[in-house]
Amino acid sequence: MSLELDKVTVTVHRATLLREVSLQVQPGECLGLIGPNGSGKSTLMRCMAGLRKPRSGAIRLRDRSLFAMTARARAQQIALVEQQADTTERLTVREAVELGRTPFLSPVRGWRAEDETRIEAALQAVEMTALADRLWHTLSGGEQQRVHIARALAQAPKLLLLDEPTNHLDIRHQLALLKLIHDLPITRVIALHDLNQAMSCDRLALLDGGRLKAIGRPCEVLTEAIVRDSFGVAASRSIDPAGKHVLHFSHAV
């Protein structure tokens, strides 16, 4: 599922949050979204999910305008895991994950065995099967985050958008989640703060002050000069024994 943004500009009152951002996400690609705090990553994610309409510019999902689609049609294709998601409902973990199947249900299309299978697989993928009957509000931050991801997986999206999904997760669950995302055969956009984790994406898009500053292969985008300029950090880069580029940060500049 391809996604194309053409000169997307978002304003709030007099502030411009995104300025003429144009990019294409190719089918099956994992595009990492990086940038300092406040650079516009979450705003761009919400635009890509169809939750925020740009003031100008176009967003097309496989050649179709995102905003010409109904919310239900969008939800059948796109899943978004937001940075801060909460619910006041008294839900169990399983019920929270079942919400991922809502876009596919209708009066003529009830709950099926296929939905059940997807719920079980999603719970298993994030290692939450054992906690399936626990109440959502009793979970830790990291466990809640894993449930959000399970809900998005249960949605079986063609485009998966993840806004800092490793937030709250311990290092084992961070690595397990990144591997899970890496192995998914669908189009993915993932906002990450950890620049070394971002190195594993197929390509990176760097936002700075609401503008797209660079897009390309991770080793092209995350140069020492760009890290200094956009993130204000002195860094050096090396290649580890597995052939992966690794950034070493020394101090703020």
Ligand X SMILES: Nc1ncnc2c1ncn2[C@@H]1O[C@H](COP(=O)(O)OP(=O)(O)OP(=O)(O)O)[C@@H](O)[C@H]1O
Contact residues for ligand X (CB under 6 A)? 12, 15, 17, 35, 37-43
Please, what is the minimum distance in Å from the beta carbon of residue 28 to ligand X?
A: 25
Residue whose CB is less far from ligand X, 40 or 165: 40
Per the CB < 8 A criterion, the answer to whether 33 and 207 are in contact is: yes
The CB density around residue 175, as the number of other CB atoms within 10 Å, is 13
Please, what is the minimum distance in Å from the beta carbon of residue 209 to ligand X?
A: 9
Per the CB < 8 A criterion, the answer to whether 35 and 192 are in contact is: no
Residue 97 has φ and ψ, to the nearest 5°, of -70, -35
Please, what is the minimum distance in Å from the beta carbon of residue 15 to ligand X?
A: 5
Residue whose CB is less far from ligand X, 15 or 130: 15
For residues 186 and 29, give the distance between their C-alpha atoms in angstroms, rounded to a whole number: 7
What pairing do the DSSP bridges indicate for beta strands 203-208 and 211-216?
antiparallel
For residues 32 and 216, give the distance between their C-alpha atoms in angstroms, rounded to a whole number: 10
Residue whose CB is less far from ligand X, 104 or 231: 231
Please, what is the minimum distance in Å from the beta carbon of residue 113 to ligand X?
A: 39
Residue whose CB is less far from ligand X, 14 or 251: 14
Please, what is the minimum distance in Å from the beta carbon of residue 228 to ligand X?
A: 18
For residues 19 and 21, give the distance between their C-alpha atoms in angstroms, rounded to a whole number: 6
Residue whose CB is less far from ligand X, 48 or 199: 48
